Amino acid sequence: MRSKNVTKGPERAPNRSLFYALGYTEEELDRPLIGVVSAYSEIVPGHQHLDKLARAACDGVRMAGGTPVLLPSIGVCDGIAMGHVGMKYSLASRELIADSVETMAQAHQLDGLVLLPNCDKIVPGMVMAAVRIDIPAIVCSGGPMLAGTVGGEHTTLSKMFEAVGAFKANQIDKDTLHAIERDCCPGCGSCSGMYTANSMNCLCEALGLALPGNGTVPAVFSARTQLAKKSGMAIMRLVEENITARQIVTPQALKNALACDMALGCSSNSVLHLLAIANEAEVPMDLHTFNEVSAATPNLCHLAPAGPTHMEDLYFAGGVAAVQHELLQHGLLNGSLPTVTGKTVAENTAGCAIKNTNAIRPVKTPYSATGGLQILWGNIAQKGCVVKRSAVAPEMLRHSGPARVFHSEEDAIAAIYAGKIIAGDVVVICYEGPKGGPGMREMLNPTSALAGMGLDKSVALITDGRFSGASRGASIGHVAPEAALGGAIALVREGDIIDIDIPAATLNARLSPLDLADRRAKWQAPPPNVSKGWLARYAKLVQGADLGAIMSI
């Protein structure tokens, strides 16, 4: 056990004295020390109940013969951080979380980790740490929020953001806006569509790093508390057998996760996070891998914002296990891989047939023959960009239009609200990438404004920033190289014609190589947006979106 480095032998008497100061007994110090890392706080709806789940996980550890050690983690609520300077900190917080989990596990020589995240960057941050230090680990998320109900219909946060656009366009009145505001998010849990948080919680299950149900059991169900207890118990078997995170997160497991990503129609942010996790696991992966898996994997789910179903519908339809079972029946998944249950993927999902084809379509009748995400390349995205294809209206899969160029999210949203964007336009927002932002802000406000105004089927949006999983429409993000590094997106001018062909995986401006070279010769790098604090350090060290916005060493 790693913990013997702090609990065993006469040389560790000083270390033990500090454990005794904490109230631990000799019997507890004879058992494996398990870090229970909780991102509980009173600022994130998805995390406000994690204190209860942490206690349940601690109970599970004790029941299975271990000693739980409760540890904290920060977490940003992307919805609250949206649309202002706070969003610059969201993606960057992923690195702080990974570093802090590594620090606590290594400094105190913990034998294993039960990771209790729920929302966007907290999930991948914790997983990155687990595979980086490569010790036994299991993820137990807080679970999804139930859908809200407004006017007798289920709704969720994406509709709230779109309602602002509808209000600005005088399509709804103030009372309707307030009704949606009050009722779209009814309680604790990660917001109830297939947004980034739920995407990553489902993908942890698909990776084999979480127990079945991790992605879909609603936050308020007793089954979620039971899952936390079972996760605490399961970590003890992993510790006893020394099954570490990298034994689970293998190249084949990442391919399985990608297949589930495509079938489920996950957030475009999953591209950044899976690349980052693969990097920590020292598994080769690039954007071409996403398109290869997408080409072979049909899209089976259209959860909000792509369609009318929500996470609770996916849960009652059989959850991630039913999706895995369906993919396995058609040879689209590797069923022989190990998972934290001690069983293989095939054993975990045996008999998990689809219970509701409105929430999960069979492979033979998918929403599309290809996956929910598509990587595009072209003369303004030489290193690639990402679109959530499953949330794009059919008429926008191919689109050409004049560029409307903005150098910040704020300028773009002001133009949209002022009615200056019309059908056919291509909104281009640059200098919002990992370095340029810094922090690669999510663009949910402009995409939702366009959707709320009824322009999501006639206007595209392209950025070197990124999109919330709640965005829908022809929202193309992660353009690399980014503008701040002199990427060609910085050379696009007002009125340039942009050609988008999602089925052909291309994104181009109608500019010749000579035009681009002439503009590049005149381009000057702008001064940094941030010059002090953590974000300034982040901007200096962060790498491109095509690499997962990981930090250089």
As annotated, the active-site residues are: 468
- Tell which residue, 369, 134, 338, 318, has the closest CA to residue 256: 338
Q: Give Cβ neighbours of residue 114 (< 8 Å, ≥ 6 apart).
A: 34, 35, 36, 37, 57, 60, 61, 68, 137, 138, 140, 231, 232, 235
Q: Give Cβ neighbours of residue 22 (< 8 Å, ≥ 6 apart).
A: none
SS3 370: coil
C-alpha–C-alpha distance, residues 238 and 113, integer Å: 10
DSSP 371-388: -S-EEEEETTEEEEEEE-
C-alpha–C-alpha distance, residues 422 and 401, integer Å: 11
C-alpha–C-alpha distance, residues 187 and 74, integer Å: 20
Is the bond into 218 cis (omega within 30 degrees of 0)? Answer: no
> b/e per residue, 91-126, with b = 16+ CB within 10 A?
bbbbbbbbebbbebbeebbbbbbbbbbbbbbbbbbb
Q: Which tokens belong to 248?
A: 């689970």
How far are the Cα atoms of 375, 503, 511 from residue 506, in angstroms, in the given order?
Answer: 8, 8, 14
C-alpha–C-alpha distance, residues 401 and 497, integer Å: 5
∠ CA(218), CA(220), CA(223), 5° rounding? 65
Q: What is the DSSP letter of 488?
A: G
